[in-house]
């Protein structure tokens, strides 16, 4: 593997530079003195930001973008070997790194690297941890987060060498290229079944991730994960647990960090005492709704304790956190009183968590416009999607967002809509965003809550409705 010498900046090219993670890495290297350029399919707000940083962006992935003077190329996971830039790279013999390999090499340049993993909640918990470190006068963290965090004005913050904070995705085992000093495991569930064989395969991957933490490091893991000892018993580092359960299902041990005296307000936001081994150590009042965010906050609080952050500073930072873009983001009011929320949820568990958060709000009808993400995920969790979505009063389905896949005709949004109807929930399918927008304008009423939901471009529906 090519190894970057960060004391000797070279010319580096990112294939797929407009991605949320790739763009952040490009900025870190640019500000470190590297000659950075890259390519992407289309212009976007992200590529415009990159250009404002002095990074050359090529639109359209073409072989002529790859020149002999490039020292190393970074590839996003979506790039295949028939990509013209990949082909040209091979012809010229230019060394390359995956995005995950680059992140792993970056981690070694910081005193403490923090990697947040889990099937769900990575972006929110990474953002919470970032807010805690930003509240510390001497932390100056470098941050790479998978969403737009208002307090840093984007998805990247280039700080000092003390802390590096990043998400750690399990897809294609990319997080096994990391070198975390502190690793968080929020949850372990079935997902990315186009890569993993089964849940046992996924659990083994997360176990290997935990084993990456050195002896003087810390693993922070949810007690809601079945048999946490499977991941932690053989570790020689410090282990902290968090959860809302009384005890782990197998070991019988209570989590180290839990919540007590929880109160939910009219907006669905929780206030609770943070309890460590039976003793109240702080109080947190969140500005983001849902039980899942109590868990995320407990994980972040455990992290704060692990690195010695003052507990009042940590609870204050958690209380100021207002969320990230596309994570239960309240975007405005449509018409004469329809509350619009946008959320990135694209897995049944995430959908249920978002639904429960929305249902805790004062509302008339809960509408959900859902855009399934990838055919393989929709097919693998078809019944679970129908169950989760049926929690809404009204469901509107857009076509499946293909991402990296092609349609083999075995699953569709129309099929999913019919399955939801069988659960006595009103469900509608439309083959265009325009038709969905027109239907919503005619049928949503004052007091309704409308959520646009999915990992694709479904958010455009809400943006369009706000402009009407």
Tens of pLDDT, residue by residue over 77-136, are: 778 899 999 999 999 999 999 999 999 999 999 999 999 999 999 999 999 999 999 999
pLDDT, average across residues 441-445: 94
Structure tokens at 49: 């930001």
The catalytic position among 101, 131, 167, 437 is 167
The whole-angstrom separation of Cα 457 and Cα 440 is: 17
Which one of 56-60, 78-82, 246-250 scores highest in mean pLDDT? Answer: 56-60
**Active-site position among 123, 232, 378, 452:** 123
pLDDT score at 246? 65
Task: Read off the pLDDT band of 360 (50, 70, 90).
Answer: confident
pTM for the structure as a whole: 0.83
To the query of whether residue 378 is one of the catalytic residues in this protein, the response is no
State both tokens at 447: 């007091």
Give CA separation, 72 vs 1, 61, 436, in Å.
11, 17, 45
User: What pLDDT, on the 0 to 100 scale, is given for residue 148?
Assistant: 82
Give the pLDDT of residue 336: 85
pLDDT of residue 427 exceeding 70:
yes
Q: Are 35 and 9 in contact (CB under 8 A)?
A: yes
Note whether 213 and 116 are within 8 A (CB): no
Annotation says 122 is catalytic? yes
Lowest mean pLDDT among 205-219, 220-234, 320-334: 320-334
Q: What is the pLDDT of residue 122?
A: 94
Q: Which of these is catalytic: 85, 112, 122, 124?
A: 122
Res. 423: pLDDT tops 70: yes
pLDDT on residue 357: 85
pLDDT of residue 267: 80
What is each CA distance from 107 to 40, 164, 393, 410, in whole angstroms? 25, 7, 45, 42
Query: 70 with 94: CB under 8 angstroms?
Result: yes
For residue 383, pLDDT beyond 60: yes
Q: What is the pLDDT of residue 250?
A: 59
Could you say which DSSP state residue 173 is in? G
Query: What was the pLDDT predicted at 367?
Result: 97
123 is annotated as an active-site residue:
yes
User: Please, which pLDDT band fits residue 266 given cuts at 50, 70 and 90?
Assistant: confident
Give yes or no for residue 248 having a pLDDT over 60: no
Taking the CB of residue 1, how many other CB atoms lie within 10 A of it?
10
Which stretch of 79-93, 245-259, 288-302, 356-370 has the lowest confidence by average pLDDT? 245-259
Per-residue confidence (pLDDT) for residue 268, from 0 to 100: 82
Rounded-to-5 percentages of helix, strand, coil across the chain: 35, 25, 40
pLDDT at 390 over 60: yes
pLDDT in tens, 304-313: 999 999 999 9
Mean pLDDT of the chain: 93
Q: What's the DSSP call for residue 373?
A: B
Dihedral angle computed from the Cα positions of residues 170, 173, 176 and 182, in that order, rounded to the nearest 10 degrees: 0
């Amino acid at each position: 593997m090519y190894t970057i010498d960060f004391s000797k900046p070279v010319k580096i090219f990112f294939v797929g530079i407009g991605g949320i993670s790739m763009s952040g890495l490009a900025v870190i290297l640019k500000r470190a003195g590297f000659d950075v350029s890259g390519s992407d399919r289309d212009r976007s707000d992200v590529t415009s930001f990159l250009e404002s940083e002095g990074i050359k962006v090529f639109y359209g992935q073409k072989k002529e973008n790859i020149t002999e003077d490039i020292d190393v190329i970074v590839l996003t996971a979506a790039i295949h070997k028939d990509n013209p830039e990949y082909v040209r790279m091979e012809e010229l013999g230019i060394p390359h790194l995956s995005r995950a390999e680059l992140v792993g090499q970056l981690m070694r340049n910081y005193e403490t690297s923090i990697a947040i993993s889990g099937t769900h909640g990575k972006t929110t918990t990474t953002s919470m941890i970032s807010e805690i470190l930003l509240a510390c006068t001497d932390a100056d963290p470098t941050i790479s987060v998978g969403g737009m965090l208002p307090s840093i004005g984007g998805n990247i913050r280039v700080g000092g060498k003390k802390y590096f904070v990043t998400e750690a995705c399990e897809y294609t085992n990319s997080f096994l290229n990391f070198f975390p000093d502190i690793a968080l495991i929020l949850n372990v569930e079935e997902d990315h079944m186009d890569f993993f064989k089964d849940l046992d395969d996924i659990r083994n991957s997360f176990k290997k991730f935990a084993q990456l933490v050195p002896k003087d490091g810390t693993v922070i893991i949810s007690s809601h994960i079945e048999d946490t000892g499977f991941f932690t018993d053989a570790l020689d580092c410090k282990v902290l647990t968090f959860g809302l359960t009384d005890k782990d299902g197998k070991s019988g041990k209570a989590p180290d960090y839990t919540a007590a005296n929880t109160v939910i307000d009219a907006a669905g936001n929780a206030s609770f005492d943070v309890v460590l081994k039976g003793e109240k150590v702080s109080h947190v009042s969140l500005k983001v709704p849902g039980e899942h965010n109590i868990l995320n906050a407990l994980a972040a609080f455990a992290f704060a304790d692990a690195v010695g952050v003052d507990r009042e500073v940590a609870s204050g930072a958690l209380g100021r956190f207002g969320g990230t873009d596309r994570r239960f983001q309240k975007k405005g009011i449509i018409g004469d009183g329809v509350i619009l929320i946008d959320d990135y949820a694209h897995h049944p568990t995430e959908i249920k968590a978002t639904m429960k958060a929305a249902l805790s709000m004062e509302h008339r009808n809960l509408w959900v416009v859902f855009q399934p993400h990838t055919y393989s995920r929709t097919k693998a969790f078809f019944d679970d999607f129908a169950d989760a979505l049926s929690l809404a009063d009204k469901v509107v389905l857009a076509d499946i967002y293909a991402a990296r896949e092609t349609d083999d005709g075995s699953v569709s949004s129309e099929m999913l809509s019919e399955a939801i109807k069988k659960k006595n929930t009103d469900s509608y399918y439309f083959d265009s965003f325009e038709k969905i927008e027109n239907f919503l304008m005619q049928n949503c009423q004052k007091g309704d809550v409308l959520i646009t939901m999915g990992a694709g471009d479904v958010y455009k529906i809400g943006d369009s409705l706000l402009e009407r």
